[in-house]
Amino acid sequence: MNLANCKPSEFLKQTHKIKKSVEKWLKDTDFLNIRKEAPEIVHINKDMTDEERAKAFTENKRKMQEQGTKNAMKILDAALDKYADETLEILALCCFVEPSKVDDYTIDFYLENFTEILNNKAVVGFFTSLAQLGAMDIPNA
């Protein structure tokens, strides 16, 4: 069982259970700040020639892709190395496995269930909406 195939009552209770682990994981891994890291880009302005604009656009695109890769690697280093236990805890909870029982299941079990969760538009949409609400800082509004 996982978040994509459980009963609605189970989904809500489990997502509430997961919430604290995710909050801690986001803070520990510095995920949100890493995502914000951006390169210095060339500002495109009306005084540039078409060629200069095209060159700046291409350079900016390259810099953004490079920064995206760097950010992803930093997040993966934190999630899969420094905070691997915390990452596995969240994965286990998404599969209704208590963190103390995480090693009672194979990695295939977790990866197959995680893939099912990621392929469920409703579940992904739910978490995306929660993330957007969190970004709005509603508790402090």
| 90 is a domain residue | yes
CA distances for 83 relative to 17, 46, 90, 129, angstroms: 19, 47, 11, 25
Using one digit for the tens of pLDDT, what is the confidence trace for 81-121?
Answer: 999 999 999 999 999 999 999 999 999 999 999 999 999 99
Our measurement of the distance from residue 93's CA atom to the centroid of its chain's CA atoms, rounded to an integer in Å, reads: 16
| 116 is a domain residue | yes
| 64 is a domain residue | yes
Using one digit for the tens of pLDDT, what is the confidence trace for 29-40?
Answer: 999 899 999 999
Mean pLDDT of the chain: 92
Residue 56 structural domain = 8-140
What pLDDT band is residue 134 in, cutting at 50, 70 and 90? low
Instruction: Output the pTM of the full model.
Output: 0.82
pLDDT over 90 percentage in the chain: 86
| 1 is a domain residue | no
